[in-house]
Structure 1
Amino acid sequence: MSLMSLDVGDLLLEMVPFARTLGITFDSVGEGRALCRLPDRADLHNHVAGPHAGALFTLAESASGAAMLSAFGDQLGRAVPLPTTATIDFRKIATGEVRAEARLLATKQEVVDRLDAGERPEFGVAVDIKNAEGTLVSALTVTWTLRPNRP
């Protein structure tokens, strides 16, 4: 089954079992964007009764991966997507269900042009994590690369 015949959120959850273990679900994915949720579960809580930092990171990284795949899934035959760095800012204590919204920080054409030129393009994906009230609780930026396949 090809990437294009699968829902990108479902594909990511199939490829990353840990995200499934946390109960992450995708609401929408497409055109370099993704929106997903982490349920409010006691077994995911930290010492202040909110989602553990690792769960927040996994939620955001999953959103970034889905946003990246929605834009560059058609390039998987010639390049492997890999995250290279990630920075997370914890701004407020998160409680309850949280949502992550990811968006590419480059255009698809810019990245593909660099890949076509024989480069190993790097690009950012920004992710905002908000609580049920819409308050920003964390922000993450993941730098991704498309590593060209070796002949």
Structure 2
Amino acid sequence: MSAARMTIGEMLAAAVPMARTLGLRFLEAAPERAVVVLPDRADHHNHVGGPHAGAVFALGESAGGALVLAAFGDQLARAVPLAVRAEIAYRKLAMGTVTATATLGRPVAEVVAELDGGVRPEFPVSIVIRREDGAVTGEMTVVWTLRPHG
């Protein structure tokens, strides 16, 4: 499949080996919201039988990355998106399949205006991680930047 016809999820799976390793499924990737699923796999379990905290972190960061690509993909010719810092709070035991939903914390136009003005913008992406029963198992914030090329 040509890069022009690939979905954001397919591009991430092709470019990010960890997404493939975890078997992440990208259900939605739009500038307003991204939804990514971590399937329940025994080889990713921790000592209590749920997904390892590192796998859950990678799920959340990947949902944020999908959102950032959807929101700022048209800026890739001049800047690369990079995670700057992240914080995660594990709220409840995650068991089974878990889903991360990411939302952008600043308007796209505001971030692009900073980039246009020569400022390396930073912007937060909030991620909520849920079990299949809807219980929130984690909350995460990843601060991203668009680093200009060169």
Query: Same fold by TM (over 0.5)?
Result: yes
What amino acid is the match of 1:97? T
Aligned to 2:31: 31
- TM-score normalised by length of structure 1: 0.95
Give the Cα–Cα distance (whole angstroms) in 2 for the partners of residues 9 and 103 of structure 1.
Answer: 16
1:66 alignment partner, SS class: helix
What amino acid is the match of 1:131? R
- TM-score normalised by length of structure 2: 0.96
Aligned to 1:103: 103
2:29 alignment partner, SS class: strand
Instruction: Encode CA deviations 1:40-87: one digit per residue, 9 max, x unaligned.
Output: 111111011110000000100000000000000000000111100000
Aligned to 1:122: 122
Aligned to 1:135: 135
Give the Cα–Cα distance (whole angstroms) in 2 for the partners of residues 18 and 128 of structure 1.
Answer: 20
Listed as ranges, the gaps of 5+ residues in structure 2 are: none
Displacement after TM superposition at 1:112 (Å): 0.3
Aligned to 1:113: 113
Displacement after TM superposition at 1:19 (Å): 1.1
* Contact kept in structure 2, 1:22 and 1:38, CA below 8 Å: yes
What amino acid is the match of 2:84? T
Instruction: Encode CA deviations 1:114-143: one digit per residue, 9 max, x unaligned.
Output: 000000000010110000001100011000
How many aligned residue pairs are there? 149
Listed as ranges, the gaps of 5+ residues in structure 1 are: none
What amino acid is the match of 2:117? A
Give the Cα–Cα distance (whole angstroms) in 1 for the partners of residues 8 and 32 of structure 2.
Answer: 11
Give the Cα–Cα distance (whole angstroms) in 2 for the partners of residues 10 and 108 of structure 1.
Answer: 23
Aligned to 1:60: 60
Runs of 4+ off more than 6 Å = none
Aligned pairs (5 A) from 1:35-46: 35-46=35-46
